[in-house]
Amino acid sequence: MNSTEPSPHATLSYEQAGVNYDLIDPLKVSAQRAAAATAGHLAAHGFTEVAASRGESAYVVDVGPFYLASIVECLGSKALVADEMHRLTGRSFYDGIAQDTIAMAVNDLITVGATPLVVQAYWAAGGSDWFGDAQRAQALVAGWKKACDTCGVAWGGGETPALAGIVEAGRIDLAASCTGLINPKERLSVGDKLQAGDAIVLLASSGIHANGLSLARKLVERLPQGYLTEVAPGLSYGEALLAPTVLYSPVTEALYQAGIVPHYCANITGHGWRKLLRHPAELTYRIHSVPEVTPVLKFIQQRAQQDDREAYSTLNMGAGFAIFVPAAHAERVVEVAQAQGVPALVAGQVEAGPKQLLIEPLNIRFGNDDLQLR
């Protein structure tokens, strides 16, 4: 099943939540084709693209002494939850929202082996008055700065347009671009390094992160107390949703310092665990252990009446980032991640075989047809 297919039973699917991939996908395909046709321009500058990065989470160019990686990423609709929670509690959550936005860019950029160097801010508000709320604006600035500090990146600048008539009044469209280097070039983790025998290490998520929010917001309509419904004692649904996305670049940088170069990485965002099938190779991914599922994700699964297959195909279910390494390094990856404050787990291994993901503890199989991103 892919994300455009109607979901069975009375579950709340992405389509019901207002995202129709059938409409977006033809554009995506034609844009991808047009984009691929521009690669040759790099030759005039003496450079070449790393073709294997097409379809990966960041675009990579070989500029000689190192590879250059770049990306732009959108927060999505999580700011709408922050706005509603501000209305209900008076508290600004925009410090966390800033971290989420940077995480969307940085966590994608590092999948190719890049060290993030520069982040640019894109904050497009529905009107000048958005920036006039000093508490909220300062939270956004402070959270952005703090996330840059955590990732060791320079905040280069950005854009703060007021776009009345395009962005809705009182709202903000948040995005981040990120540029980094893969240096030394051996750190590149796209292409043919991934192989049978590699271990799959999963890094813990903090909650829903910034994917699945359309579904989570739709679900509020079914909750008598809305965002203030408790998902655990003392923890409201809204607050739990707003747990900031984990920044994984401190882990990937620490791995390099520890002498470990991943064969491949996958940022587990939209399409949930199906992102483990992202690499184009014909390989089987066998999962023998699944991480603990955070309360807010359990709550969403239960209230949206999703079976495990639907939940793991949409949400991160406790795993925010996957690192594929030689089996001999797997335990060391867990140690390094945990030393950076990120719980981790050796969850499974890569095997020769048809392209599929087998989540054995839950008896779930996703095949190649379940993820078509390229």
- Which residues ranging from 14 to 43 are in contact with its own copies (CB under 8 A)? 18-24, 26-28, 30-32, 34-35, 37-39, 41-42
Strands (E), 115-211: 115-125, 154-159, 172-182, 198-204
**Least gap, CB of 124 to its own copies (angstroms):** 6
**Residue 87 binding its own copies, by CB under 8 A:** no
Q: How many beta carbons lie within 10 A of that of residue 4, not counting itself?
A: 16
- Report d(CA 241, CA 294) in Å as an integer: 10
**C-beta of 245: minimal distance to its own copies in Å?**
16
Q: Does 257 bind its own copies (CB under 8 A)?
A: no
**Residue 196 half-sphere exposure toward CB, CA atoms < 13 A:** 9
Binding positions for its own copies, 200-239, rule CB under 8 A = none
Q: Is 51 in the site for its own copies (CB under 8 A)?
A: no
Instruction: Please count the helices (runs of H) and the strands (runs of E) in the chain.
Output: 11, 15
Site membership for its own copies, residue 184 (CB under 8 A) = no
Interacting residue with its own copies among 5, 8, 135, 166 (CB under 8 A): 166
Contacting its own copies (CB under 8 A), which of 2, 52, 158, 358? 158
At 101, list the tokens: 């936005």
- Chain center to CA of 29: 21
User: Which stretches does DSSP call E strand in 229-276?
Assistant: 230-232, 235-236, 264-267
Asked if 168 interacts with its own copies (CB under 8 A), we say yes
Does the protein bind its own copies through residue 77 (CB under 8 A)? Answer: yes
The count of residues interacting with its own copies (CB under 8 A) is: 87
Footprint on residues 96-155 left by its own copies (CB under 8 A): 115, 117-118, 120-122, 124, 127-129, 131-132, 134, 137-138, 141-142, 144-145, 148-149, 152-155
Cβ partners under 8 Å of residue 260, min gap 6: 325, 329, 332, 333, 336
Q: Which is nearer to its own copies, 136 or 329 (CB)?
A: 136
